[in-house]
A and B are shown apart, each in its own frame.
Chain A
Amino acid sequence: MKMAAARCWKLVSRGRGLSLHTAAEAASTATESTSTDVATTPVARYPPIVASLTAKSKAARLRRVERWQATVHAAQSVDEKLRILTKMQFMKYMVYPQTFALNADRWYQGFTKTVYLSGLPSPPVEPEAPLDLGALRDAACDSLLQEHFYLRRRRRAPLREEPETVVSPFLDQLVVALMGLLSPQNPVLASASVDFKRPVHFYWLRGEEIIPGGHRSGRIDAVRYQIDDKPNNQIRIPKQLPEFVPLDYSVPVEIPVMKCKPDKLPLFKRQYENSIFIGSKTADPCCYGHTQFHLLPDKLKREKLLKQNRADQIEVVFRANAIASLFAWTGAQAMYQGFWSEADVTRPFVSQGVITDGKYFSFFCYQLNTLALTAQADQNNPRKNVCWGTQSKPLYETIEGNNVKGFNDDVLLQMVHFLLNKPREDRPQVLES
């Protein structure tokens, strides 16, 4: 009797768990569909036949992954969700927004599923409030001259430290001055929060690879990335900026596909704390991003690239910085609202970025349409993230003594338009005639 029972068990369990499970499910659904009205047909009185949790099988691994995903879905607070998503540490690629790698912007587009469109999106039609361009220009020139000429510092900083000692305070002062002058027209700037050199972190998974060596060699493993960024300034607002294009907007441009492993970029792997941070913790009411200002370091400056015969990489540096930084910021904002790769965003997250090296400015807009970048979630995902950007233009020609020569009003106007971007609730309603 016992032998028979054991034989019965073996017969039942030898087959693939999946097929039995699906067969049982099909049978139960079939019976349910045919017998919804007829109460006489009995429902299954045994628990659902599912794959094992602890077996060394692909089905068991799938079930464990689903169980983990269910805990994330069931998490009560965003902090708990982020903790479950980031608590396991594995080797991951460190993506640096400011990098010397060649053609880094094409690689980063692949990592973040971003489409790059040159030119900024058209601003919404709105009654233009009169701008006092003279006052704005004076404020910009005053900040520029204060740092470059008027301020007598203790020790004259060497040229290689010029970004930190001269350009960084100039950017801080410029942002604060412009925000002050524009806050009458854009009330959200008055309630915004400005961060100076606060870190921004983002951790995500994209794609799969086969582990080359070690005790897990030959197995398929997800590829993990982490961005640890430190923008010079960023403005965070309590309400979200309106979208530039609809959520499911299909861009005809293709995302570049790189044929090599990310290691060839070069990109290096390390294992350390996975963190997701927009610049302040989840309890902060200003949890949506407005604009980031980035300062390029001395080793990526134009003169150096020209001397190395890499004139085409000048724009690449700006673009790569924008794509990586803005993706990290918008992605972290989306995760702060509870979205993640299995719970994709239901509304687009929009941020703006200004990248500069002190003289040349370039402007970028980023719209995050999807967070589902893992191999499992990306199977039927037509959405792509979009990044719009401009070429770098100089703000001024030279500074001679206490004079700024060749001040470019267009660059200033563009920055002003960026700062005047406001959430939909604050916009004046366009009257239907």
Chain B
Amino acid sequence: MAASGYSSRGTLIGMALASRPAQRAFLGSGQLGFGACGIPRREAYEWGVRSTRKPEPPPLDRVYEIPGLEPITYAGKMHFVPGLARPVFPPWDRGWKHPRYHRSPPIHEQPLYKEEPCYIFHQRCRLLEGVKQALWLTKTKLIEGLPEKVSSLVDEQQNHIENQDERVLNIISHARLWHSMEDIPKRETYCPIIVDSLLQLCKSQILKYPSVARRICAKNHSLSAAWTRESVLLQVRGTSGIRLSAKDPLPPIASREEVEATRNHVLETFYPISPTIDLQECHVYDLKDDTGFQEGYPYPYPHTLYLMETADLQPHRFHPEQLRAKMILFAFGSALAQARLLYGDSKVLEQPIVVQSVGTDGRVFQFLVLQLNTTDLASNEGIKNLVWVDSDQLLYRHFWCRPVIKKKVVVNLITAPGMLLWSVGHHFVLQRQPCHPTHHPTLDLPAFIPAAPPQLPVLFSEAFWPIPALPCVREPVGPVDFQPETFRKFLALYLHGCPEP
């Protein structure tokens, strides 16, 4: 073990190995780990700790296998006696429940075990067939675009907040750049900040719409709703995002005729893929409908669910299709739990329940309005629920946290009167100043610098004083391609349900 500290780690380990075969085995190993030395194979060591796992207990004596025979053990003698059988003791029972040493019983012995499996959708389920699968699971018909009632709120001028665009741009800059000391804040921080700030901005409309005060936000609520689809048990469970609850329910959007017309709609299947793919199959479950709040909650009606995808790495985030499916299922779950609470089970609702949902990853927004028309979901026939989806609305295309600076600079050097010496990068060209400036066709130069053919010879006049080169900023810090329409839709979804001022 006396290896010098200056040798490489490989030789350090190599010299530390006791035997020659072990060293040879180490040096000849095919695996290469850190730097030039490799990780030795497991068989290379003759000493050392392979694992801290307890060794397996010795097998039972053969005498226990003979039925009807009573083994004579050394249990009474309290010490080992060669020749007598090894006693088998019952497992030790502490006598009381210690939270650290709790061993769950096997699945078959758990109290909630049921033969029939239940397929649970939780907040990290990424459905393979996306929206199609969500529609089949919830017996819903899809309509592209937001409903008429909400679109009319979008376009109405009186709903607009003063300086709306400027304030939304400030919110974007605050969330994407200003709120943290880092140069480029991460999505985990900026996505919730954008949603919170936009909600705060919407809430400032309380002057025009006093019923905005009859709403409250809640985080960390746990939803649970269960139903059957074609003899398959399904459940939605989870706690996801912000839930905006209201004291008054949202009015139904589709009229009775439209609801009746859904009888003729046929749900799209995707044979051979099973509709329960990507759902978690459970045998230990509890079928219950829980809105997430106790009875007597002063804001019983779910208004909007805000779901956020905050993972920094792109593979960990949901795709837009999967996010829309999750929004449909969670909105459906809240609506179903509410319906069961108010009206009981399995019938067509007189008063359909409407729940909205907004999903985002901090830049792209998905809007959704779901109307629950029926809780009779077992068969594929009959009235279906309705969902209006407005997908992939960009709030802004990109955000530059640092200005993009062009490296090749344009220097405007004034030479003798009437002559202009200009350079791009390392090339200098002299030109007689024309009467009217023109725009350079290839380079994105400001208009006052006239165009000049590059074939002119390089000339330097005697008296010229160069102006220091200014790097020209291609893209300033801030959002690119801001779309005000997206925030108007966000505001419209927020104000939906408020009576006219």
On A, residues with C-beta under 8 Å from B are 135, 139, 142-143, 146, 149-154, 165, 169, 173, 176-177, 179-181, 183-184, 190-191, 193-196, 198-199, 201, 275, 277, 279-281, 283-285, 402
Contact = CB atoms under 8 A, between A and B. Distances in A.
A402 B298 CA distance: 10
B477 to A, nearest CB: 8
B200 A284 contact: no
A152 B203 contact: no
Nearest to A181: B213
A279 B216 contact: no
A180 B203 contact: yes
A284 B294 contact: no
Contacts of A198: 179-180
A152 B298 contact: no
Contact of A142 (B180, B204, B292, B298): B298
A135 B290 CA distance: 29
23 contacts: A142-B299, A146-B218, A146-B297, A151-B220, A151-B293, A152-B221, A152-B293, A152-B294, A154-B220, A169-B219, A176-B203, A177-B213, A177-B216, A180-B206, A184-B207, A190-B204, A191-B204, A193-B174, A194-B197, A196-B196, A198-B179, A281-B181, A402-B294
Given A146-B216, A176-B200, A184-B206, A151 B221 contact: yes
A194 B297 contact: no
A180 B200 CA distance: 9
Most buried by B among A143, A152, A183: A152
A153 B197 CA distance: 25
A173 B204 contact: no
A173 B217 CA distance: 7
A275 to B, nearest CB: 6
Contact of B292 (A151, A176, A179): A151
A143 B205 CA distance: 20
Most buried by A among B178, B217, B218, B221: B178
Prevailing SS type, chain B contact patch = mixed
B174 A280 contact: yes
A284 B179 CA distance: 9
A196 B297 CA distance: 26
B173 interface: yes
Contacts of A280: 174, 178-179
A151 B218 contact: yes
Contacts of A176: 200, 203, 217
Nearest to B199: A176
Interface in B20-76: none
Contacts of B298: 142
B296 interface: yes
Contacts of B213: 135, 139, 177, 180-181
Interface string B179-207: 11100000000000100110010011011
Given A180-B203, A195-B179, A281-B178, A153 B220 contact: yes
A181 B296 CA distance: 23
Nearest to A177: B216
B216 A173 contact: yes
Nearest 4 CB-CB pairs, A to B?
A190-B204, A281-B178, A280-B178, A150-B297
A352 B64 CA distance: 79
Interface in B289-312: 290, 292-294, 296-299
Contacts of A195: 179
A154 B219 CA distance: 11
B203 A284 contact: no
Nearest to B299: A142
Nearest to B224: A152
Chain B interface residue number, banded:
35 or more
B170 interface: yes
Contacts of B196: 194, 196
B181 A199 contact: yes
Contacts of B279: none
Nearest to A201: B181
Given A154-B220, A176-B217, A199-B180, 8 more contacts: A142-B299, A146-B297, A152-B292, A165-B220, A176-B203, A180-B213, A183-B206, A280-B179
Nearest to B163: A191
Contact of B220 (A135, A169, A190, A285): A169
Contacts of A184: 206-207
B206 to A, nearest CB: 5
Given A173-B217, A183-B207, A280-B178, A285 B170 contact: yes
A193 B204 CA distance: 11
Contacts of A165: 220
A172 to B, nearest CB: 8
Contact of B216 (A142, A199, A284): A142
B192 to A, nearest CB: 8
Nearest to B204: A190
B212 interface: yes
B8 interface: no
A76 to B, nearest CB: 15
Contacts of B110: none
B351 interface: no
Nearest to A184: B207
Contact of A181 (B177, B206, B216, B218): B206
B239 interface: yes
A425 to B, nearest CB: 17
A150 B294 contact: yes
A180 B174 CA distance: 21
Contacts of A283: 173, 177-178
Nearest to B298: A142
A146 B218 CA distance: 8
Contacts of B207: 183-184
B346 interface: no
A33 to B, nearest CB: 41
A190 to B, nearest CB: 4
Most buried by A among B219, B220, B239: B220
B438 interface: no
Nearest to A281: B178
A191 B294 CA distance: 35
Contacts of A173: 216-217
Interface string B377-410: 0000000000000000000000000000000000
Contacts of A152: 221-222, 290, 292-294
A279 B179 contact: yes
Nearest to A279: B179
B148 to A, nearest CB: 29
A154 B222 CA distance: 6
B168 to A, nearest CB: 13
Interface in B255-313: 290, 292-294, 296-299
B306 to A, nearest CB: 14
A146 B244 CA distance: 13
B239 A154 contact: yes
Nearest to A282: B178
A180 B212 CA distance: 9
Contact of A284 (B174, B217, B219): B174
